[in-house]
Amino acid sequence: MSKLLTISDLYKSFPIRRSKLGEKRRFVHAVRGVSFDVAEGETVGIIGESGCGKTTLGRMIVRLLKPDSGRILYNDVDISQKPAKALHEFRRDVQIIFQDPFASLNPRMTVEQILGEPFIIHGIKRRKSRRELVAELLQLVNLPESSMLKYPHEFSGGQRQRIGIARAVALKPKLIVADEPLSALDVTIQAEIIALMQDIQKKFGMTILMITHDMKVVANMANRILVMYLGQIMEELPASQILTPRHPYTMALLEAVPVADPRRKKAMVPLAGDVPSAVTPPRGCPFHPRCPYKQARCETEDPKLRTLTPGNVVACHFAEEIAKR
């Protein structure tokens, strides 16, 4: 498979409003030196706790946010610093599904207007009428044609997310960034949305970047998983290896997944304290203040991503030793 997307050394910070006159301006360091590739037709999952920078990363990839530094190569073209006017064709190829389907849909527009808008913005003229195209989109996401004349508030959360998905795939994009598309839905509806996205991907051959905090979702959907913590990638591994991670943070995420059988006992890796502040990230390994395996080196030396086994890349000084325990 050829590369569709290349992220190289991406950084993004947000200034904090100063509370005192003369106070030094501080920044939230949301994304710090993130690099990875995405191949055509691949599904890549990005997981991590809330506040780890995964949503900021997704919004930079679709250029809703401009990175401070680093490169975003889409089909070998750097779009990281291009002005908004120069991104018209890029936005046709790259779309986003937002976390909150109610907040992302215009409450004053009917479904027909919402789904017809991408065709108007990009000046797409086809032999079929716009209403026929909208009807096909509704059929694609398993909603009745009668939904056209309704407004977003007349639908359930799952139905609104289907409308959001229909809008995202209207122009048959090559890449979809799905930012926590299941978090506002109950478990039954989540399974339906996952199945729908997989069917659409298979039909159109799209590439999906799935951003979530749910380990089970990425295990079921993704080919490859990236684990983020405090704005950095801690581990990259194939979804088939999700049960045998090498980084202690990934191990802790895996062990935190609830098990249906109450008789089954799990060996928990205790994590001390809370996630450090993204305003003043710790020196050395960002995970060392909470890591049960930390050593003196972890407090001063930032570990670089390195390959342990084919497809498994880890940012940990002692990953081999930890894996043997």
> 208-248 pLDDT, tens per residue?
999 998 888 888 899 999 999 999 999 999 999 998 999 99
pLDDT at 268 (0 to 100): 61
Three-class SS of residue 130?
helix
Evaluate if residue 323 carries a pLDDT over 90: no
Q: Which two tokens stand for residue 152?
A: 């977003």
Return the higher-pLDDT residue of 174 and 18. Answer: 174
CA-wise closest residue to 322 among 288, 293, 291, 286? 293
How far apart are alpha carbons 2 and 193 in whole angstroms? 28
CATH number at residue 75: 3.40.50.300
The confidence score (pLDDT) of residue 214 equals 86
SS3 217: helix
- pTM, 2 dp: 0.92
Residues 252, 215: contact at Cβ < 8 Å?
no
What pLDDT, on the 0 to 100 scale, is given for residue 179?
93
- DSSP symbol at 25: P
Could you tell me if residue 258 is inside a domain? yes
- The alpha carbons of the chain give a radius of gyration, in whole angstroms, of 21
159-198 core/surface letters (b: 16 or more CB in 10 A; e: else): bbbbbbbbbbbbbebbbbbbbbbbebbeeebbeebbebbe
Residue 67 forms part of a structural domain: yes
Main-chain phi, psi angles of 84, to 5 degrees: -55, -35
Question: Higher-confidence residue: 170 or 257?
Answer: 170
Residues 164 and 303: their CA atoms lie apart, in Å, by 39
Per-residue pLDDT, averaged over 95-111, amounts to: 91
Structure-token match 């199945």, residue found? 195
Look at residue 234 and tell me if it is in a domain.
Answer: yes
User: Are 64 and 52 a contacting pair, CB within 8 Å?
Assistant: no
Q: What percent of the chain has pLDDT over 70?
A: 94
31-35, 75-79, 128-132, 210-214: least confident range: 128-132
Q: Would 287 be classed as within a structural domain?
A: yes
Partners of residue 94 on adjacent β-strands: 175
Residue 137 lies in a domain: no
**SS3 at position 277:** coil
Positive/negative CA dihedral, 247, 213, 29, 70:
positive
Nearest Cα neighbor of 62 from 36, 27, 98, 14 is: 98
- Residues 53 and 228: beta-carbon distance below 8 Å: yes
More confident residue, 11 or 273: 11
Show the CA angle centred on residue 254, arms to residues 165 and 298, nearest 5°: 115
Alpha helices in the chain (DSSP H): 54-61, 88-93, 111-121, 130-140, 157-169, 187-204, 215-221, 248-255, 319-323
Q: Which one-letter amino acid corresponds to residue 283?
A: R
Domain carrying residue 272: 3-16+26-103+176-183+205-324
pLDDT at 22: 66
**Which amino acid type is present at position 37?**
D
pLDDT value at residue 322: 84
Task: Please indicate, yes or no, if residue 150 is contained in any of the structural domains.
Answer: no
CA distance 304 to 115: 44
pLDDT band at 127 (very low <50, low <70, confident <90, very high): low
Give the number of domains in the chain: 1
Is the per-residue pLDDT at 270 higher than 80?
A: no
* Predicted confidence (pLDDT) per residue in 144-184, tens digit: 999 999 999 999 989 999 999 999 999 999 999 999 988 87
| 110: three-class secondary structure by DSSP | coil
Pairing verdict, β 3-16 and 69-74: antiparallel
Bridge partners (DSSP) listed for residue 207: 175
Asked if residue 304 belongs to a domain, the reply is yes
User: Within a domain: residue 169?
Assistant: no
Please report the pLDDT score of residue 217 as a whole number.
Answer: 87
